[in-house]
């Protein structure tokens, strides 16, 4: 794997915050509505496994990870 990209669909986000607690360098929560904020659409490739795990745990299925 040469790199990863992640997308966050704020409309699907339910504000559970699993992503923020798991990878705070990549995700944050909007203070106004609690929905996901993407801090880095192209995080380091070394986070690929963690990103896939976080996407799998997302109750709203709001996160998509792409391997480049």
What is the CATH T-level fold of the domain 4-63, as seen in this structure? Alpha-Beta Plaits (3.30.70)
* pTM beyond cutoff 0.75: yes
Q: How many CB atoms lie within 10 A of CB 43?
A: 21
pLDDT single digits (tens) 14-29: 999 999 999 999 999 9
Q: Where are the domains of the chain?
A: 4-63
In this prediction, residue 36 has a pLDDT band, given cuts at 50, 70 and 90, of very high
Return all residues near 4 (Cβ < 8 A) that are at least 6 apart: 42, 43, 45, 47, 48, 51, 65, 66, 67, 68
Please name the residue ranges forming H helices in 1-68: 18-22, 48-57
């Amino acid at each position: 794997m040469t790199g990863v990209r992640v997308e966050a669909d704020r409309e699907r986000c339910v504000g559970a915050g699993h992503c923020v607690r798991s990878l705070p360098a990549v995700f944050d929560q909007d203070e106004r509505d609690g929905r996901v904020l993407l801090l880095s659409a192209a995080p380091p490739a070394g986070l690929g496994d963690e990103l896939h795990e976080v996407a799998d745990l997302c109750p709203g299925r709001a996160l998509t990870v792409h391997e480049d």
